[in-house]
């Protein structure tokens, strides 16, 4: 196995990770920022006030994007399995 092949596999794995996790991370960041601004404006520093809305919104986001994320993961896995014979020849 050549170094270029390993680097390509690693790059594609990292890219797939970024693409698959992006919707949840962006929504979590947005909700956390919004709740943080509200907490700063009202001087309410309750930990559960930021945790519960993030949990609910991220659950909704996972319900919306979960099928797409699973499809991307299956496509990536198929691509890796199709590359196996070429890796050792």
> Quick one: average pLDDT of 30-41?
91
Percent with pLDDT over 90 in the chain: 66
pLDDT band for position 73 (cuts 50, 70, 90): very high
Give the 3-state secondary structure of 23-51. Answer: HHHHHHHHHHHHHHHHHHHHCCCCHHHHH
Helices (H) and strands (E) in the chain, counts: 2, 0
pLDDT digits (tens, 9 = 90+) for 40-59: 898 888 877 888 889 999 99
pLDDT at 14: 97
Give the list of residues 6+ apart from residue 39 with CB closer than 8 angstroms, or none: 45, 46, 49, 50
């Amino acid at each position: 196995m050549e170094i270029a092949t390993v680097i390509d596999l690693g790059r594609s794995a990292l890219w797939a990770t970024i693409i698959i996790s992006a919707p949840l991370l962006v929504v979590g960041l947005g909700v956390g920022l919004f709740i943080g601004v509200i907490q700063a404006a009202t001087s309410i520093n309750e930990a559960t006030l930021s945790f519960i809305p993030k949990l609910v919104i991220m659950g909704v986001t996972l319900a919306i994007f979960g099928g797409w994320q699973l499809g991307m993961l299956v496509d990536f896995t198929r691509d890796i399995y199709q590359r196996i014979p070429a890796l050792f020849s």
